[in-house]
Amino acid sequence: MSELKALIFDVDGTLADTERDGHRIAFNRAFADAGLDWEWSEALYGELLAVTGGKERIRYYLDGYNPGFERPSDLDGFIAGLHRAKTDHYTKLLAEGEIPLRLGVRRLLETARREGLRLAIATTTTPANVQALLEHALGPASPGWFDVIAAGDVVPAKKPAPDIYDLALAELGLSAADCLAFEDSENGIRSARGAGLGTLVTINEYTRSHDFEGALLVLDHLGEPERPFSALAGDAAGATHVDLALLRVLHRNMSAANA
Q: Give me the active site residues, please.
A: 10, 12
Q: Pick one of 7, 9, 13, 236: the residue that binds ligand XBP (CB under 6 A).
A: 13
Nearest to 4 by CA among 116, 89, 147, 93: 116
Q: Which residues, 6 or more positions from 208, have their beta carbon under 8 angstroms from its beta carbon? A: none
Residue 190: strand pairing partners: none
Nearer to Mg ion, 163 or 184 (CB): 184
**Residue numbers at the binding site for Mg ion (CB under 5 A):** 10, 12-13, 184-185, 188
Pairing of strands 118-123, 148-151: parallel
- Smallest separation, CB 187 to Mg ion (Å): 8
Number of H helices, E strands in the chain: 9, 7
- Smallest separation, CB 235 to ligand XBP (Å): 25
Residues 79-108 that bind ligand XBP (CB under 6 A): none
User: Which of ligand XBP, Mg ion, none does residue 166 bind to, with CB < 5 to 8 Å depending on kind?
Assistant: none
Nearer to ligand XBP, 27 or 229 (CB): 27
- Smallest separation, CB 30 to Mg ion (Å): 21
Residue nearest to ligand XBP as judged by C-beta position? 54
- C-alpha to C-alpha distance for 108 and 243, rounded to whole angstroms: 6
- Smallest separation, CB 19 to ligand XBP (Å): 6
Nearer to ligand XBP, 208 or 227 (CB): 208
- C-alpha to C-alpha distance for 62 and 176, rounded to whole angstroms: 37
- Smallest separation, CB 128 to ligand XBP (Å): 8
Residues 194-253 that bind ligand XBP (CB under 6 A): none
Nearer to Mg ion, 36 or 50 (CB): 50
Piece in contact with ligand XBP (CB under 6 A), picked from 46-54, 141-149, 198-206, 218-226: 46-54
Alpha helices in the chain (DSSP H): 24-33, 42-48, 54-65, 75-95, 105-114, 127-133, 163-172, 186-194, 244-258
Q: Which residues, 6 or more positions from 161, have their beta carbon under 8 angstroms from its beta carbon? A: 155, 191, 194
Give burial (CB, 10 Å; 0-12/13-18/19+) of 163. buried
124 scored as a contact of ligand XBP (CB under 6 A): yes
- C-alpha to C-alpha distance for 36 and 189, rounded to whole angstroms: 34
CB 223 within 8 A of CB 205: no
Binding mask 133-172 for ligand XBP (x = CB under 6 A): --------------------------x-------------
Q: Which residues, 6 or more positions from 57, have their beta carbon under 8 angstroms from its beta carbon? A: 27, 48, 49, 51
Residues 19-38 that bind ligand XBP (CB under 6 A): 19, 23
Binding residues for ligand XBP, rule: CB under 6 A, are: 10-13, 19, 23, 52-54, 123-126, 129, 159, 185, 187-188
